[in-house]
Structure 1
Amino acid sequence: MLTSATPSEQTKPDVGWGFTHTQYSADEGSGTATTHVEDLLSRTGMPENQHIMGWGVGNPEPVKGRYDFKRMDRRIDFIRKSGGTPVVTLCCAPDWMKGGQAGADNTDWSQSALETAPTPDHFKDFATLAATVAKRYPDVRHFVVWNEFKGFWNNSKARWDYEGYTELYNLVYKALKQVNPKIMVGGPYLVMDSVDPRRKQDASTTLRGTWGAMEQQALDAFSYWNKNKVGADFVVVDGPGYTKDDDLLPDEFAATDKFTAVGAWVRQQTHDLPLWWAEYYVEPADGNGDRKGWTEDHRVAVQATGMIAMVKGGASSGFYWNPEVEKGTDCPGCLWTPTDTAGGGKALPMYDLVSRFGKEFPPGTGHRTVPVAKDDVPKVRVLATDKVVLVVNTLDRTISAQVDGKRVELKAYEVKWLQR
């Protein structure tokens, strides 16, 4: 049974830095372990994002007009109990909306099926589903429309079907606003891919840097949505710092400069609408989709550098894609240990980073410039407020750096918070 929902009176799209629940999360497992995570999260009140189909929840409407929110209820209930700000991503779509069969037993959970968009004749049905979700969870005031343009590709023109996505977006936007005008809606959750800067085909001639060149088709899709949307309370993008060929240019830390450049471009196009990064990646995955090539200290340091870069690009919110596993003890990049046993649910270094970052850099905080010794500038990345300074050592060795007028000793890949 769902815990009671108390609708927020929030009328601004303030959210902040949080995470996305994926296939496995702390709503299942040992009661002791899940309570550990609830207690962790309740101390921070981080935003928590959940999709409506897939990524840990079931088919929300297996037959037209017949709903099944059991697993979605459980996730939303967990978010409420852990004190998080709930965010819902409206993806993906039931099979009958995209040419498949109706019925829960007929749901095709293959990746190709899940990433298929509704057919145009079912766009209104999807908007109706979105409105139903909003009515069921009245305390959810932040909705993201779809995920990464999944299924919206125009084969004949070899480009994104931005017309189709924008039509769906507009219908969903209107449907949600009819439920409650205070609901905050954002899109287009477009992948901002980049390529090697030497590449000519479909490479932007204007949005580029040492990190690569933006794919022009992504910029075209974004521009069409931005021009033709009926409205938006915030704008959403995602993407990696590395190129489509998994190149970290010129290195893993400098590659994060892409987040700053893309963010500044998006903010300019949207007249400074609040910018969210729905997903952001700094470490290429292996052939199995796993990220196990770096030590956790290295991983956290590059992640911190990426978050710094997003803030400098104008982002006010971002969601860490939590790669939680079902069981075991090894969980690279996870926020907490798996919750399958009573000893699970313990905070990991990435949780410490994401939660502290969210506390120190909430929406509206901005950032300050602090002096860094000239010789130390290439070694460290820095982000500051009036109260704290976040310093990241980008080298795999101990260094001594002068930051904000103070001498700071930093271990290899250390992430350190300094009081001002």
Structure 2
Amino acid sequence: MSARHAAGRFGLLRAGRQRVVVLIAVATVGLGLLLTMFDTTGHGVAERSTGTAAPGVYGTPGSGQSPSARLGWGFTHTEYSADRGTAAAEDSAGRLLAAQPLPQNQAIMGWGADNPEPSPGQYDFNGLDSRIALIRKTGGTPVITLCCAPDWMKGGARGATDWSRIEAAPTPDHYADFAQLAAKVAQRYPDVHDFIVWNEFKGFWNDSAQRWDYEDYTRLYNLAYRAVKGVNPRNMVGGPYLNMDSMPPGSKDNSSSVSGPWGSLDQRVVDALDYWKRNKAGADFLVVDGSSTTHDGALVPDDFTATEKFNDLSRWLRQDTGLPLWWAEWYVKPDHTVWPENRLMAVQATAMTQLAEGGTDTAFYWNPESESGDCSGCLWTGTGADQQGGTPLPMMNLLRRFAAAFPPGTAFRSVTVDNTKVRVLASDRTLLAVNTTDQQITAHIDGKAVNLGPYAVSWTNR
């Protein structure tokens, strides 16, 4: 998430037993097995861990699957997820996730995970163990985001955690320590094969030059890349997790030649990506994130057309880097804006069609789960709310339906539509049609009349 989004979304990062987001990777460890401990340091190691998966068995984790950079459609865990709440609600959410396993993303610190190394060589993996256990138990594909850094790596006190400084990057003299922590994490969870290095260049902004400090980020990236590969050469590692910030049409400030009706990509983002491409130690996939809004939070020329940014940038990024493309986060509305649920689902569905058509290989939906579950766009009702928690909400239904209908490598077919207000995506088996208006309309899709309610998201199987 970008610096301008940090205040709202980093509000989910708090001290104490908070749960953190981890990127989903392929789970190959049997259900209910104890978490394996590893010592990757040369000095005394102290660890605190639950050591066991959460109770209950919901699904069957994958076994013997090969690491892949094409995971499809999944979601990112935030502070309040399905491993925290009443027993009945946690069980309901767990069964929901196991019914159709998806890639799941979790960070090593924050978003539900504690400080993994409060002091050098002193580890606390309780929060992260809980999330990985949840992913394993529900059969998901686990991915781990290597962010953020313990306080002592960024000038803070040993043994302390100041969650207000979660966005600070390690100081250069601790880059190697962070890489060692990355190796420790990779060894601890041998069934996790997909790793993202850092998050949105947090702490890597050069104020004096008014640009990203891509030199230092790339140094950190290269050390972490080599460390994770050193644990298992088959592990998949990617970056740089840049925010695809864009300027409004006609803007002269930092505008690049990568443009569309939605505006133009910030030239400082292009510069950072170019440097990383030329100087990276290696990469198995490219990671970005972003919103269909402009830098100023506007939707140009409207909320649906603005989503074409995802298509245009996905095509450009794939051509520019030649790497499999991951969107670690994607957003469709300005911060602190509330839309009716049907409008939100229609714009979300349209954004997903744009990402898919652009050639996205992996995409994670940032699940804005709250303790009560009373939030726009949540995937399930809050597990801490009551005994009815953990039941699916419209966005979960959309995500699961889309993931099943359009997995990576889907061949899309051309569709004729006589109404410009209808957006479609079709394979040989499934057709998705979205009404982008708040009115009842009729459209002829491949010659067949289809009635669509206001902001309808319609599915047709052949």
TM bin (shorter chain) = over 0.9
The structure 1 residue matched to 2:149, chosen from 93, 97, 108, is 93
Q: Does 1:318 align with 2:351?
A: no
Q: Distance in 2 between matches of 1:405 and 1:182?
A: 48
Q: Distance in 2 between matches of 1:381 and 1:331?
A: 26
The structure 1 residue matched to 2:414, chosen from 361, 366, 369, is 369
Q: Does 1:352 align with 2:397?
A: yes
Q: CA deviation at 1:197?
A: 1.4
Is the CA contact 2:53–2:130 (under 8 Å) kept in the aligned structure 1?
Answer: no
Q: Does 1:72 align with 2:128?
A: yes
The two structures, once aligned, show a CA RMSD in angstroms of 1.4
Count of residue pairs brought into register by the alignment: 405
Match of 2:37 in 1: none
The structure 2 residue matched to 1:126, chosen from 165, 170, 178, is 178
Q: CA deviation at 1:46?
A: 0.4
Q: CA deviation at 1:8?
A: 4.3
Query: Which stretches in structure 1 are left out of the alignment for 5+ residues?
Result: none
Q: CA deviation at 1:211?
A: 0.5
Q: CA deviation at 1:63?
A: 0.5
Q: Distance in 1 between matches of 2:400 and 2:254?
A: 38
Q: Distance in 2 between matches of 1:165 and 1:157?
A: 15
Query: Which stretches in structure 2 are left out of the alignment for 5+ residues?
Result: 1-50, 55-60
Q: Distance in 2 between matches of 1:350 and 1:48?
A: 15
Q: Distance in 2 between matches of 1:282 and 1:254?
A: 11
The structure 2 residue matched to 1:278, chosen from 321, 325, 328, is 328
Change (3 A) 1:176 1:366: farther
Q: Distance in 1 between matches of 2:273 and 2:75?
A: 24
Q: Does 1:392 align with 2:434?
A: yes
Pairing of 1:99-118 with structure 2 (within 5 A): 99-103=155-159, 106-110=160-164, 113-118=165-170
Match of 2:273 in 1: 222
The letter for the 1-side match of 2:251 is R
Identity %: 56
Q: Does 1:153 align with 2:198?
A: no
Pairing of 1:10-29 with structure 2 (within 5 A): 10-29=66-85
- TM-superposition CA deviations, 1:160-179 (whole Å, max 9, x none): 00011111111111111110
Q: Distance in 2 between matches of 1:303 and 1:135?
A: 37
Match of 1:336 in 2: 380
Change (3 A) 1:166 1:120: same
Change (3 A) 1:388 1:7: closer
Q: Does 1:171 align with 2:217?
A: no
Match of 2:14 in 1: none
Q: Does 1:296 align with 2:341?
A: yes
Question: What SS does structure 2 have at the residue aligned with 1:197?
Answer: coil
Q: CA deviation at 1:37?
A: 1.2
Q: Does 1:30 align with 2:82?
A: no
Pairing of 1:34-45 with structure 2 (within 5 A): 34-45=90-101
Is the CA contact 1:210–1:250 (under 8 Å) kept in the aligned structure 2?
Answer: yes
- TM-superposition CA deviations, 1:15-44 (whole Å, max 9, x none): 110100011111100111111111111121
Q: TM-score, normalised by structure 1?
A: 0.94
Change (3 A) 1:6 1:175: farther
Q: Distance in 1 between matches of 2:404 and 2:53?
A: 26
Match of 2:425 in 1: 383
The structure 2 residue matched to 1:183, chosen from 235, 253, 276, is 235
Is the CA contact 2:314–2:359 (under 8 Å) kept in the aligned structure 1?
Answer: yes
- TM-superposition CA deviations, 1:76-135 (whole Å, max 9, x none): 1111111111111000000000011110xx20011xx10010111111111110110011
Q: CA deviation at 1:7?
A: 6.7
Pairing of 1:397-416 with structure 2 (within 5 A): 397-416=439-458
Is the CA contact 1:170–1:230 (under 8 Å) kept in the aligned structure 2?
Answer: yes
The letter for the 2-side match of 1:265 is W
Q: TM-score, normalised by structure 2?
A: 0.86
